[in-house]
């Protein structure tokens, strides 16, 4: 592998695709790239395997990708479509008899402690259950030899933590899911990055997510070597949407694996 390997565990919005009760062309599509579980990625480096978010589909995603080991989990924010697979981390603690480092900003850790209160108590630290080891993100931090720089992204009443992964000073990946825009500070943090992954919900504007046009404009301003869109709803069919995009901007799809 290269310096970084990214696997897209899911690329869909909170409903997932197909949407319950919908028979639109995307929900009915036979193209496997139009089947989207809730959004998450896994990042592999030469030293570590890092999970970013654990959506409700996390167990199925791990089985699909044959995951048997995790070193750490980073949470971007505490919306349910990004955290509800938290309990499935128990299996990784059980298999190796270890705790699981959980990285998030303070507001997100507080929400995790509230929603999964049973897992954070000292009286519940059994060998066969999840043993979270919370670590507050309050600035750049290292996992192995990878430096991860957090940035704030506006997401309605919530703020999402964007993540820029770099090694030996080289910016490799910017992961900007769930955002209504890429503000100047986040844009500058991603400047010169090899690969950008960014929210592109649908064609029409949305109050808490970027549209396809807004995401395209943000990608062009940042100027990454290549960009992948994620967190997409059933408004965006894979084949027809890609036809209208620049060559260096593609739609991610579940199971896509890229190396940097």
Phi first, then psi: what are they for 169, rounded to 5°? 85, -5
Predicted local distance difference test score (pLDDT) of residue 121: 77
Predicted local distance difference test score (pLDDT) of residue 125: 63
What is the pTM for the complete model shown? 0.96
Give SS3 for 256.
coil
Domain of 91, CATH number, reads 3.60.15.10
Q: Count Cα atoms within 13 angstroms, Cβ side, for 120.
A: 15
Is pLDDT of 122 > 80?
no
Is pLDDT of 127 > 70?
no
% of residues, the chain, pLDDT over 90: 93
Average pLDDT over residues 199-206: 97
- Check: CB of residue 82 under 8 Å from CB of residue 75: yes
Predicted local distance difference test score (pLDDT) of residue 104: 98
Rounded to an integer, what distance in angstroms lies between the CA atom of residue 223 and that of residue 196? Answer: 9
In tens, the pLDDT along 141-178 reads 999 999 999 999 999 999 999 999 999 999 999 999 99
Is pLDDT of 124 > 70?
no
Q: Strand pairing partners for 135?
A: 103
Predicted local distance difference test score (pLDDT) of residue 5: 98
The better pLDDT of the pair 118, 86 is held by 86
Query: In whole numbers, what is the pLDDT of the chain averaged over residues?
Result: 96
Predicted local distance difference test score (pLDDT) of residue 14: 96
Pairing of strands 5-10, 40-44: antiparallel
Domain boundaries, position 84:
5-259
Total number of domains in the chain: 1
- Check: CB of residue 144 under 8 Å from CB of residue 45: yes
What end-to-end distance do the CA atoms of the chain give, in Å? 8
In tens, the pLDDT along 5-33 reads 999 999 999 999 999 999 999 999 999 99
Helix, strand and coil in the chain, % to nearest 5: 25, 30, 45
């Amino acid at each position: 592998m290269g310096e970084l390997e990214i696997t897209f565990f899911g690329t869909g919005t909170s409903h997932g695709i197909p949407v319950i009760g919908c028979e639109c062309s995307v929900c009915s599509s036979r193209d496997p790239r139009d089947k989207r579980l809730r959004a998450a990625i896994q990042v592999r480096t030469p030293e570590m395997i890092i999970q970013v978010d654990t959506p409700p589909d996390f167990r199925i995603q791990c089985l699909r990708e044959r995951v048997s080991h995790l070193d750490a989990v980073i949470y971007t924010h505490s919306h349910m479509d990004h955290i509800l697979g938290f309990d499935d981390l128990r299996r990784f603690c059980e298999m190796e008899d270890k705790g699981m480092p959980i990285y998030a900003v303070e507001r997100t850790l507080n929400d995790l402690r509230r929603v999964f209160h049973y897992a954070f108590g000292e009286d519940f630290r059994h060998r066969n259950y999840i043993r979270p080891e919370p670590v507050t993100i309050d600035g750049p931090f290292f996992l192995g030899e990878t430096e991860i720089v957090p940035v704030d992204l506006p997401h309605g009443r919530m703020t999402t933590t964007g993540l820029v992964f770099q090694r030996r000073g080289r910016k490799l990946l910017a992961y900007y899911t769930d955002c209504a825009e890429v503000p100047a500070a986040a844009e500058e943090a991603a400047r010169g990055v090899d690969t950008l992954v960014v929210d592109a919900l649908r064609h029409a504007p949305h109050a808490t997510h970027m549209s396809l046009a807004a995401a395209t404009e943000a990608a062009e301003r940042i100027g990454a070597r290549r960009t992948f869109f994620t967190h997409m709803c059933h408004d965006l069919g894979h084949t027809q949407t890609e036809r209208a995009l620049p060559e260096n901007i593609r739609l991610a799809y579940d199971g896509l694996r890229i190396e940097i």
